């Protein structure tokens, strides 16, 4: 989006919307960027490795039992 297009859209805003936009811009200007430390990056890598390895999988025996019963009943219903 070009600057001219942005200006054209801003002109259409109400005073309330302009106030909201101004507050959002001011909040963004006050944001302090956080630089990731080597420790933070190592922790992120560890968490990603755990999540992608399936280590965080959950065993749901009750759900699995209910699912098997539902499947049985469904098969019986469609078989007749």
Reading phi first (left if > 0) and then psi (alpha if -120 to 50, else beta), residue 63 is in alpha
pLDDT value of position 67:
85
Split at pLDDT 50, 70, 90, the class of 36 is: very high
Domain coordinates of the chain in residue numbers? 1-31
Split at pLDDT 50, 70, 90, the class of 46 is: very high
Split at pLDDT 50, 70, 90, the class of 75 is: confident
Q: Can you tell me whether residue 16 is helix, strand or coil?
A: helix
User: Which tokens sit at 52?
Assistant: 């992608």
Q: How far apart are CA 45 and CA 42, in angstroms?
A: 5
Q: Is the pLDDT of residue 2 over 70?
A: yes
Q: How much is the average pLDDT of 50-65?
A: 76
Rounded to two decimals, what is the model's pTM? 0.37
For the chain, give percent helix, strand, coil, nearest 5: 75, 0, 25
Task: Please state, in angstroms and as integers, the Cα–Cα distance from residue 44 to each residue in 21, 37, 54, 71, following that order.
Answer: 33, 11, 16, 40
């Amino acid at each position: 989006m070009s600057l001219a297009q942005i200006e054209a859209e801003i002109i259409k805003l109400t005073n309330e919307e302009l106030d909201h936009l101004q507050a959002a811009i001011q909040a963004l200007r006050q944001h302090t960027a956080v630089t990731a430390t080597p420790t933070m990056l190592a922790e992120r890598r560890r968490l990603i490795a755990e999540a992608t390895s399936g280590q965080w999988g959950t065993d749901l025996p009750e759900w699995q039992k209910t699912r098997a019963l539902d499947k049985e009943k469904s098969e019986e219903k469609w078989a007749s």
